[in-house]
Amino acid sequence: MASGNAIRGSRVGAGPMGEAERGESAPRLRISFWCSNGHETQPSFASDAQIPETWDCPRCGFPAGKDEENPPDPPRTEPYKTHLAYVRERRSDEDGEAILAEALAKLRGEI
């Protein structure tokens, strides 16, 4: 038995949207960008938009440029440093020995 709901399975506003409802689309340009891994990406820009010099590669995340022969260099990542590495940058071995001797003397009750 039919339920009497004639628009069952659809929602308000559903239906094909054409340019008549959305308006005309702006003229577009597709610009090629290449990363240092050789990936090419072609984002679409409005014809009157300012085109950026670099674009992030969607495949590897490296910066991509408009010149295929000379893509931008990948970013240089610094390795993780431990707390001890930062301390060694600030203090020499002699400074460390002096601080250790002072701390040991304090523990022994000599100071």
pLDDT in tens, 5-56: 555 666 666 666 556 666 777 889 999 999 999 999 999 999 999 999 999 9
Among 28, 67, 63, 61, residue whose Cα is nearest residue 46: 28
Residues 60 and 37 placed together within one structural domain of the fold: yes
| Within-domain flag for 72 | no
- The rounded distance, in Å, linking the Cα atoms of 60 and 36 is 10
Which pLDDT score is estimated for 63? 95
Say which residue the tokens 């020499």 belong to.
Answer: 92
Is residue 9 in a domain? no
Q: What is the pLDDT of residue 44?
A: 93
The total number of structural domains that make up the chain: 2
Lowest-confidence segment of 31-35, 62-66, 77-81, 107-111 by average pLDDT: 107-111
5 occurs within a structural domain: no
- Name the residue range of residue 45's domain: 28-65
- State how far the Cα of 109 lies from the Cα of 39, in Å rounded to an integer: 66
Q: Residue 39, annotated ligand binder?
A: yes
Is 45 domain-assigned? Answer: yes
Percent of the chain's residues with pLDDT above 90: 51
Q: Are residues 83 and 57 in the same domain?
A: no
Tell me whether residue 35 is annotated as binding: yes
Q: What DSSP state is assigned to residue 27?
A: P
60 is in an annotated binding site: yes
Residue 38 sits in a domain whose CATH number is 2.20.28.270
Are residues 34 and 59 located together in one domain of the fold?
yes
SS3 at position 24: coil
